[in-house]
């Protein structure tokens, strides 16, 4: 096990609602990245946080936002949920280290939007 935890494990929401997903990083790691994995696809990068600042963002609209806390844990917030937001959301923690940075993933949160 990686030591990266995510909560909740499963979540059901309706279209238009808001959701918050949580991630605790592995001990010693200072960076958290979030990915969305739709069914049958590879994960897609949402954004990364380093020292409580957004350190990079993928091709996701502003209704996807995040936070990182002083203990390096993180939240992913999604506003105005759409049906296409149904996916597995993966959090990964790492120690920012250039080329050799290895991201270790948590078990994910499965979100279903009805």
Partner 1 sequence: AQKITQTQPGMFVQEKEAVTLDCTYDTSDPSYGLFWYKQPSSGEMIFLIYQGSYDQQNATEGRYSLNFQKARKSANLVISASQLGDSAMYFCAMREVSTGGGNKLTFGTGTQLKVEL
- Closest contact distance (angstroms) between CB of 67 and partner 1 is 15
Q: Quote the CA–CA distance of 93 and 74 in Å, as a whole number.
A: 10
Residues that bind partner 1 (CB under 8 A): 2, 31, 33, 35, 41-45, 48, 50, 54-58, 88, 90, 92, 94, 96, 98-108, 110
> Residue 84 CB, nearest distance to partner 1 (Å)?
18
User: Nearest distance from residue 87's CB to partner 1, in Å?
Assistant: 11
- The residue (of 8 and 16) whose beta carbon lies closer to partner 1 is 8
- Count of CB atoms within 10 A of residue 101's CB? 12
Nearest approach in angstroms of CB 16 to partner 1 is 26
With CA atoms as reference, report the closest residue to 79 among 60, 98, 105, 107: 60
Q: Which is nearer to partner 1, 3 or 16 (CB)?
A: 3
Check if the beta carbon of residue 19 is closer than 8 Å to that of residue 78: yes
Q: Between residues 71 and 100, which has the closer beta carbon with respect to partner 1?
A: 100
């Amino acid at each position: 096990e990686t030591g990266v935890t995510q909560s909740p494990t499963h979540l059901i929401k309706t279209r238009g609602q808001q959701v918050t997903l949580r991630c605790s990083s592995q001990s010693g790691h200072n960076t958290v990245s979030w990915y969305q994995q739709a069914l049958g696809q590879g994960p897609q990068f949402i954004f990364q946080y380093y020292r409580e600042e957004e350190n990079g963002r993928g091709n996701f609209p502003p209704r996807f936002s995040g936070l990182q806390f002083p203990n390096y844990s993180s939240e992913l917030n999604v506003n105005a949920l759409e049906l296409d937001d149904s996916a597995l959301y993966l959090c990964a923690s790492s120690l920012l280290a250039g080329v050799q940075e290895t991201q270790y993933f948590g078990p994910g949160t499965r979100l279903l939007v009805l």
